[in-house]
A and B are shown apart, each in its own frame.
Chain A
Amino acid sequence: MYKPIEIADGIYSVGCRDWDIRDFHGYSTYEGTTYNAFLVLGEKNVLIDTVKEKFSDEFLSNISRIIDPKDIDIVISNHTEMDHSGSIPKLMQIIGKDKPLYCSKMGAINLKSHFNQDFNFQVVGTGDTLKIGNRTFSFLETRMLHWPDSMFTYLVEDAILFSSDAFGQHYSGDKFFDDEIGDEIIPHARKYYANILLHFSPRVQALLKDVAKMNLKINMICPDHGILWRDNPSKIIEAYDKWSRQEPTKKVVVIFDSMWESTTKMARSITSGIESEDVAVRLMNTRKWHRSDIMTEIIDAGAIAVGSPTLNNGIFPVIADVMTYIKGLRPQNKIAAAFGSYGWSGEAVKILNKEFSEMKLDIIDDGIKVQYVPNEDDLNKCFDLGVKIAKTLKQRLSDAKK
Chain B
Amino acid sequence: MEKYECVCGYVYDPANGDPDNGVEPGTSFADLPEEWVCPLCGAAQENFEKID
Chain A residues within CB distance 8 Å of chain B = 105-106, 109, 143-144, 148, 200, 202-203
Q: Which of A105, A143, A200 lies at the interface centre, i.e. has the most chain B CB atoms within 10 A of its CB?
A: A143
B7 and A105: CB pair below 8 A?
Answer: no
Least distance between B12 CB and chain A CB atoms (Å): 16
Least distance between A373 CB and chain B CB atoms (Å): 41
- Give the interface SS of chain B, mostly helix, strand, loop or mixed: loop
Least distance between A106 CB and chain B CB atoms (Å): 5
Contact of A203 among B7, B40, B42 (CB under 8 A): B7
B40 and A148: CB pair below 8 A?
Answer: yes
> Cβ of B40: which chain A residues have Cβ within 8 Å of it?
148
Q: Which of A105, A148, A200, A202 lies at the interface centre, i.e. has the most chain B CB atoms within 10 A of its CB?
A: A148
How far apart sit A109 and B40, CA to CA, in the bound complex (Å)? 11
User: With an 8 A cutoff between CB atoms, is B41 at the interface?
Assistant: yes
> Cβ of A202: which chain B residues have Cβ within 8 Å of it?
7
How far apart sit A106 and B40, CA to CA, in the bound complex (Å)? 10
> Cβ of A203: which chain B residues have Cβ within 8 Å of it?
7
> Cβ of B47: which chain A residues have Cβ within 8 Å of it?
143-144
Whose C-beta in chain B lies nearest to the C-beta of A143?
B43
User: Which residues of chain B in 1-52 are interfacial with respect to chain A, using CB atoms and an 8 Å cutoff?
Assistant: 7-8, 40-43, 47
> Cβ of A148: which chain B residues have Cβ within 8 Å of it?
8, 40-43
Q: Sample 22 A-B pairs with CB under 8 A, ordered by A number.
A: A105-B42, A106-B41, A106-B42, A109-B42, A143-B7, A143-B41, A143-B42, A143-B43, A143-B47, A144-B7, A144-B8, A144-B41, A144-B43, A144-B47, A148-B8, A148-B40, A148-B41, A148-B42, A148-B43, A200-B7, A202-B7, A203-B7
The 3 closest A-B pairs by CB, nearest first: A148-B41, A144-B7, A106-B42
How far apart sit A134 and B8, CA to CA, in the bound complex (Å)? 37
> Cβ of A200: which chain B residues have Cβ within 8 Å of it?
7
How far apart sit A202 and B8, CA to CA, in the bound complex (Å)? 12
Whose C-beta in chain A lies nearest to the C-beta of B42?
A106
How far apart sit A105 and B42, CA to CA, in the bound complex (Å)? 8
> Cβ of B41: which chain A residues have Cβ within 8 Å of it?
106, 143-144, 148
> Cβ of B42: which chain A residues have Cβ within 8 Å of it?
105-106, 109, 143, 148
Least distance between A221 CB and chain B CB atoms (Å): 22
How far apart sit A389 and B18, CA to CA, in the bound complex (Å)? 44
Whose C-beta in chain A lies nearest to the C-beta of B8?
A144
How far apart sit A318 and B52, CA to CA, in the bound complex (Å)? 31
Whose C-beta in chain B lies nearest to the C-beta of A106?
B42
Whose C-beta in chain B lies nearest to the C-beta of A144?
B7
> Cβ of B7: which chain A residues have Cβ within 8 Å of it?
143-144, 200, 202-203
Least distance between B45 CB and chain A CB atoms (Å): 13
Least distance between B14 CB and chain A CB atoms (Å): 22
How far apart sit A109 and B8, CA to CA, in the bound complex (Å)? 16
How far apart sit A200 and B41, CA to CA, in the bound complex (Å)? 14
Q: Which of A106, A109, A144 lies at the interface centre, i.e. has the most chain B CB atoms within 10 A of its CB?
A: A144
> Cβ of B43: which chain A residues have Cβ within 8 Å of it?
143-144, 148
